[in-house]
Structure 1
């Protein structure tokens, strides 16, 4: 299958660094970031896993669980985690799925034959509490992922789920936001009070407070 935005991610159970990993029970009612790696002991992915481990308090603060996936076995994952600790100075503090049989990779469409017919591409899935895909990012092997952009996008998704707004280009937490064009003037006045009109379809207001 090929997962598209708002598709429901199917459930699965697979081995991982924390033992058997049943996706739905583990995810609970939280947001999830699932990111795949082509194999263990790769240099770019080593830096990415360390970066995610350092930022885990930021994911926790947002109510987001993180999980990695690689096609090597659990024993290899644990050895890789030790390498990450020695080279990057941070412990792996989230589960890493051992997709040795490629079952989850095939289920989530993480193998792209034109790149490689055996290993996963470096994909990020942001999944909401209803198990729906809300963001997909796929990176080339040579380019490390931008974790700040991932956090920024999650902030935008959570804010725009709670309020009838969208976020403009290069938006960051605390910046002005856009009132949805579908919100009429009366509803906009009730929800936001006042706003700045740039064009009939572009109205901006200070960022509302996101629900916790």
Structure 2
């Protein structure tokens, strides 16, 4: 993506760590939760690969097209899985956004190698309306996910408050960690779209 090298490296590390946690979470779950964790791991690793600073590794335009195909398949799978779970609609939006960013990056690489300057400028930023809609979606998603992470206190009979304590489940199956991963990927997607 376009942007400073340091922020690209930090974004790459954050997305890779999130993808690794999602893989571990997939091992701790079964059924639908496992499929969702795998889809999130793919998204995390794909975002990490796309966030590598271009000054270090500039993928060829066919590399961006490969990302577009990979996430196009993931989007179709999410569309198919959305019949069972509404959370897969978010995966569909995320995969589609990755396809969009990949195609924009492939277009900006091709435009930089010989097309007209006006086409290069249009390809470098994508379609402003679509980019704006995706930015609005991810801003709302991040705010909603962040609000869900705020602990809720429940009053006790003695007048004190009890907050949700540690779960008896293993750390790979804790719902607040899964939500934190989704929040992290939402923030990363917002940042990547902002630099488009």
Q: Which TM-score applies when normalising by structure 2?
A: 0.24
**Larger RCO, structure (CA 8 Å, separation 6 or more):** 2
**Which has the larger strand fraction?**
1
TM-score by length of 1: 0.23
Which protein has the bigger helix share?
A: 2
